[in-house]
Amino acid sequence: NTSQTIYDLIGEKQIRLLTQFFYQEVSKNEDLKRLYPEDLAPAEDRLFLFLLQVFGGPETYSEQRGHPRLRMRHANWKIDASMRDHWMNAMITALDQIQVDQNIKEAMLSYFVKAANHMINHA
């Protein structure tokens, strides 16, 4: 069924695991970590709810936070190509750790590449 979303195919649990693995990588990377709040748990929840929504699941993120406007929400941080690479490497490592079909991982990766490039706001 072509109308099945990534959320339908992989479920909430894998998206939760993906965000947990992602923030494990953030906590190990000094360049990324200094951008984030001391307590990473609330940031992890925001990314989790956002990804549920992006991949076709419940829209709890927008109910709680409003329209994503992600580029605007990232304006506080200088995000250059090198910072994008840190973020992408953390996400790729997280994707490697979840139990999801390779074709679905590739679809997720392609979304993340576009979204991360879109977040660059500094040369």
Residue closer to ligand HEM by CB (options 2, 41) is 41
Site string for ligand HEM, 98-117 (x = CB under 6 A): --------------x--xx-
Q: Does 79 bind ligand HEM (CB under 6 A)?
A: yes
- C-alpha closest to that of 21 among 51, 58, 62: 51
Report d(CA 77, CA 106) in Å as an integer. Answer: 28
Report in angstroms how near the CB of residue 94 gets to ligand HEM at its nearest: 12
Q: How many CA atoms lie within 13 A of 5 on its CB side?
A: 13
Among 27, 58, 63, 70, binds ligand HEM (CB under 6 A): 70
Number of CB atoms found within 10 A of residue 53's CB: 18
Determine, following the binding rule CB under 6 A, whether residue 43 of this chain makes contact with ligand HEM: yes
